[in-house]
């Protein structure tokens, strides 16, 4: 009789742990890629985003999960022009439009027109760049890449341009050579952008 009670207690304990784990998993964050699975790998998205949460795709169940980021791997010229005018063709673009209308940001990994930056006539290319700006206003923003913890400068002179490069990369720290000279403009730019210059190389 005691043996049966021990087994029952063990089964009950295991069942409770499984339920707790499933509930915790259901409430976890995830990234939803607005494309089919073959478009881009989950590992690539996680590497670019610096995230360790699951990556799901169109058609995957997100029931019980909190979608922390929506990612559109590629925005074609046609879809860009349509969305800029409040239109959408196809189920994925319809989903993008609905998310934007609901006030949810969607991140774009790659813009189709930028593949023609070397060949497109200037006015045409600029028209699509204006679409990018319009869409940013709607909440369709460029993909937020993982920001580096620091940028290293191996030059003996740290200039304002070096600091601006660090700012563009999104790093909070510039590591420089221990004997490097830092120009006054570089010091001023670093203060303005909250970048620490550490002479530690």
CA 23/CA 59 separation, integer angstroms: 21
The band of 149, judged by pLDDT with boundaries at 50, 70 and 90, is confident
Arithmetic mean of pLDDT, 19-44: 72
pLDDT tens, residue by residue, 34-87: 988 887 777 888 777 776 778 888 888 878 788 889 999 999 999 999 999 999
Over 80: is that where the pLDDT of 27 sits? no
pLDDT for the residue 52: 74
pLDDT tens, residue by residue, 97-131: 999 999 999 999 999 999 999 999 999 999 999 99
Minimal CA–CA distance to 113: which of 85, 132, 94? Answer: 132
End-to-end CA distance of the chain: 71
CA 197/CA 144 separation, integer angstroms: 24
Minimal CA–CA distance to 144: which of 105, 177, 185? Answer: 105
Residue 158 has φ and ψ, to the nearest 5°, of: -100, 115
- What CA–CA distances, in Å, run from 46 to 28, 31, 67, 125, 166? 15, 9, 14, 30, 23
pLDDT for the residue 54: 85
pLDDT for the residue 8: 67
CA 57/CA 25 separation, integer angstroms: 17
pLDDT averaged over every residue in the chain: 84
Q: What is the 3-state secondary structure (H, E, C) of 181-195?
A: EECHHHHHHHHHCCC
CA 169/CA 56 separation, integer angstroms: 27
């Amino acid at each position: 009789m005691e043996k049966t009670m021990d087994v029952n207690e063990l089964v009950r304990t295991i069942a409770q742990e499984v339920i707790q784990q499933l509930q915790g998993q259901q409430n976890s964050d995830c990234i939803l890629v607005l494309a089919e699975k073959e478009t881009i790998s989950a590992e690539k998205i996680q590497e670019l985003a610096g995230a360790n949460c699951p990556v799901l795709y169109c058609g995957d169940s997100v029931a019980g999960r909190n979608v922390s980021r929506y990612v559109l791997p590629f925005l074609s010229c046609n879809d860009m022009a349509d969305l800029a005018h409040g239109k959408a063709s196809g189920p994925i673009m319809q989903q993008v439009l609905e998310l934007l209308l609901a006030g949810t940001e969607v991140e774009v990994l790659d813009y189709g027109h930028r593949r023609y930056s070397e060949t497109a006539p200037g006015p045409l290319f600029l028209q699509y760049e204006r679409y990018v700006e319009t869409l940013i206003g709607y909440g369709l923003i460029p993909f937020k890449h993982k920001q580096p913890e620091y940028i290293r400068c191996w030059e003996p002179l740290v200039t304002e341009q070096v600091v601006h490069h660090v700012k563009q990369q999104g790093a909070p720290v510039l590591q420089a050579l221990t004997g490097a000279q830092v120009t006054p403009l570089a010091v001023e730019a670093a203060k303005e952008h909250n970048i620490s210059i550490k002479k530690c190389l």
